[in-house]
Amino acid sequence: MMHDPWAREFPWGEVPIVVTGLGFGDEGKGATVDALVRRLGIELVVRHNGGPQAAHHVVREDGGVHCFAQFGSGTLVPGVRTHLARDMLVEPLALGREAAALARLGIAAPLERLTIDPGCVVVTPFHRLIGRMQELARGTGRHGSCGMGSGAAHVDAADPRMPTLRFAELRGPTAALRSKLRLIQMIKLDRAEQLVEQRPADPGLMLGMAEIGRPNLVDDILTAYAPVVQALAVDDGEGLRAVLRDRPGRVIFEGAQGVLLDGYRGFWPYVTPSRTDASFAEALLTAADAPAPLRLWVLRAYATRHGPGPFVSEIAGMAARVPERHNIEGRWQGPMRVGAFDLVAARHALELAASGAPGVDALVLTCLDRLAGLGPVPVCTAYCTPDGAVRERLEPPPAERDAQAERSAGLMRCEPVLSEHAGWDQPGLPAAATRYARSLADALERPLAGLAAGETAAGRCWAPSTRRRAD
């Protein structure tokens, strides 16, 4: 008999919550964090991976929208704070622009509600420029990028030979800071010249090289950094540890991107260079001797992916039938691709994300409202390989990069094996939508913790119902 994946109690408000995407990003992590912050009285959102490339859209009940990148997605709720933990990449200029956007929505002094670990790696304009140049130089073989420089900064930070700027240095002696920025500028300019030599006719590369080498760029960066850096409070994690010690159920960890984009176990080379699973959050919890968390794995009720790379369950024409208000095509990310819910990829992501640490795992399925009125709902149950084999599971990723790239190329030659579920026409969460969600949870052998049918927090349903924790 099929088990009821919703028939269990969850430790809402008692333990920390870790929210992680199981796909290629765009799963609805930010909206999930916003809804839980409102229901549970959560006071601290911890950003523990990713950086300025994140794009977590949250819609208020009054229609106001904010795309969260570095602030926690609970910031629209009065009093909720954000901590940028040690493995978060920070871009001060983008952080200042995000604070200004929040202020326009009526959020008073946003930067005063944010703390930052002094060890956070700083993404400089040089990383953004060289990252874009590298993607342009790949021509038709692009790997996919958000164009924000996060990948280039992460690669530098992982290389002991490369100069890496940490947030604490932004508050140090100006002469030392200027000297390091100039060193980074010279190194990136040398790399830019190499890229231009490879494709001398590319005007985008020429413009990028000119901007990287602009004589007054370092001084412009220092001037622009100053008001943001001065407004931020530095915290090496003691504030986080204090809340986890005294009020663990008031903390939520907000992940960026998705497990299938993990730089070490994703589908190379169409990945981000960093970790996208919950490992950084788990490390912070372990260091604080915090209670085992409730781990929420977020997926849309159908599959999406920005830009190039394996996407076996993609269905031609489905993107036009499921329009994206917040995920339009961009120069660097490319188009938003859409397909059937992919059980093979979701199982694989769960296997990659499993840490073996104690805690409760549960699924959150979002965007069920987008499927209303589309007729029967397709689900990808297996992959058909070019030689005719049918695979319901993927093997663990190989260690070697060449083998990883070969695996990715093979997946791009696979075809989806599709089944159909009964569709629904009614808005909200009619019985057919709930049955569909439960069938996916059962196939993935995980309980359902939440469903979303709508953009605002009011459209998110939790099982059993979340309750604000009494003080």
Looking at 233, 257, 278, the residue that finishes a domain is 233
Residues 59 and 91: beta-carbon distance below 8 Å: no
Give the integer Cα–Cα distance in Å for 241 and 243. Answer: 6
pLDDT tens digit string along 395-408?
999 989 999 999 99
If asked whether residues 356 and 240 sit together in one domain, one would say yes
In a shared domain, residues 337 and 398: yes
Could you identify the residue written with the tokens 């912050």? 37
Give the pLDDT band of residue 245 (cuts 50, 70, 90): very high
Q: Do both 214 and 265 map to the same domain? A: no
User: Could you tell me if 178 and 203 lie in one domain?
Assistant: yes
The residue type at 338: V
Choose between 329 and 73: higher pLDDT: 73
Residues 322 and 452 reside in one and the same domain: yes
Asked whether 4 and 438 are in contact (CB, 8 A), the reply is yes
Q: Is 5 inside any structural domain?
A: no
Question: Does residue 333 belong to any structural domain of this protein?
Answer: yes
Share of the chain above pLDDT 90, in %: 78
CA distance 258 to 124: 24
With 80 as the cut, is the pLDDT of residue 414 above it?
yes
Domain membership of residue 470 (yes or no) is no
Interhelix angle for 217-231 vs 174-198, to 10°?
130
Tell me which residue of 376, 387, 450, 454 sits closest to 418, measured CA to CA. Answer: 376
> What's the mean pLDDT in 87-111?
96
pLDDT at 60 over 80: yes
Whether residues 102 and 132 share a domain: the answer is: no
- The DSSP-derived string for 28-54 is SHHHHHHHHHHHHT--EEEE-S--TT-
Looking up residue 384, the CATH number of its domain turns out to be: 3.40.440.10
Of the candidates 21, 26, 68, 22, the residue with the CA atom closest to the CA atom of residue 307: 26
Indicate whether 329 pLDDT > 70. Answer: no
Provide the token pair at 268: 């190379």
Within 8 A by CB and 6+ apart from 294, the residues are 10, 11, 12, 15, 16, 17, 18, 359, 360, 362, 449
pLDDT band at 1 (very low <50, low <70, confident <90, very high): very low
Q: With 60 as the cut, is the pLDDT of residue 471 above it?
A: no
- Of 206, 233, 260, which residue sits at a domain end? 233
- The span from the first CA to the last CA of the chain, in angstroms, equals 41
Fill in the DSSP letter of residue 158: T
Q: How far is CA 390 from CA 399, 414, 416, 424, in A?
A: 24, 10, 9, 30
List the domain range (segments joined by +) for residue 84: 23-117+235-458
Question: Would you say the C-alpha torsion 251, 112, 326, 353 has a positive or negative sign?
Answer: negative
pLDDT band at 300 (very low <50, low <70, confident <90, very high): very high
pLDDT digits (tens, 9 = 90+) for 180-216: 999 999 999 999 999 999 888 889 999 999 999 999 9
- Given a contact cutoff of 8 angstroms between Cβ atoms, the answer to whether 279 and 43 are in contact is no
* Domain count across the chain: 2
Helix (H, G, I), strand (E, B) or coil at 116: strand
Task: Indicate whether 305 belongs to any domain.
Answer: yes
143 against 442, higher pLDDT: 442
Residue 465 lies in a domain: no
> What pLDDT score was predicted for residue 214?
95
260 and 407 assigned to the same domain: yes
- Tell me, yes or no, whether 159 and 283 share the same domain: no
Q: Is residue 366's pLDDT more than 70?
A: yes
For 206, what's the count of Cα atoms within 13 Å in the CB-facing half-sphere? 5
pLDDT greater at residue 424 or residue 334: 424
Do 388 and 251 belong to one domain?
Answer: yes
Instruction: Locate 19 and state its tokens.
Output: 């929210």
What is the C-alpha separation between 334 and 320, in angstroms, rounded?
A: 15
Per DSSP, 322 falls in state: S
Look at residue 37 in the predicted model and tell me its pLDDT.
Answer: 96
Q: Side by side, which strands form the sheet with 251-254?
A: 233-234, 114-116, 81-84, 44-47, 251-254, 17-21, 294-300, 360-366, 448-452, 460-462
Q: Is the same domain home to 241 and 209?
A: no
Q: Is the pLDDT of residue 470 over 80?
A: no
pLDDT bin (cut points 50, 70, 90) of residue 313 is very high
C-alpha distances in Å from residue 253, one per residue of 83, 231, 249, 408? 10, 23, 11, 30
- Which two structure tokens, joined as six digits, stand for 139? 């021509």
Res 256: pLDDT: 93
Confidence of residue 283 (pLDDT cuts 50, 70, 90): very high
pLDDT at 137: 87
Instruction: State the SS3 of 430-445.
Output: CHHHHHHHHHHHHHHC
pLDDT band at 459 (very low <50, low <70, confident <90, very high): confident
More confidently predicted of 357 and 446 = 446
- Asked, for residue 362, whether it belongs to a domain, the answer is yes
**Mean pLDDT, residues 223-245:** 95
pLDDT confidence of residue 469: 47
The answer on 427 and 311 residing in a single domain is yes
Q: Is the pLDDT reported for residue 6 higher than 90?
A: no
d(CA 99, CA 89): 17
Report the 10 Å Cβ neighbour count for 13.
Answer: 21
With b for 16 or more beta-carbon neighbours within 10 A and e for fewer, the 406-438 pattern comes to ebbeebeebebbeeebebbeeeebeebbbebbb
| Domain shared by 245 and 209, yes or no | no
Mean pLDDT of the chain: 92
Is the residue at 405 inside a domain?
A: yes
Give rounded-to-5 percent helix, strand, coil for the chain: 40, 20, 45
The pLDDT value recorded for residue 426 is 92
For residue 466, tell me if it sits in a domain.
no
Mean pLDDT check: name the lowest of 73-77, 137-141, 307-311.
Answer: 137-141
- State mean pLDDT over 346-361: 83
Model confidence pLDDT, tens digit, residues 155-166: 999 999 999 999
Separation of alpha carbons 417 and 422, rounded Å:
17
Which residues contact residue 216 at a Cβ distance below 8 angstroms, ignoring those fewer than 6 apart?
Answer: none
Give the residue among 136, 142, 137, 184 at the shortest CA–CA distance from 163.
184
Least confident of 32-46, 173-187, 329-343: 329-343
Pairing of strands 121-122, 65-68: unpaired
Amino acid residing at 218: V
Which of 203, 233, 263 represents a domain boundary (last residue)?
A: 233
Contact 441, 5 (CB under 8 A): yes
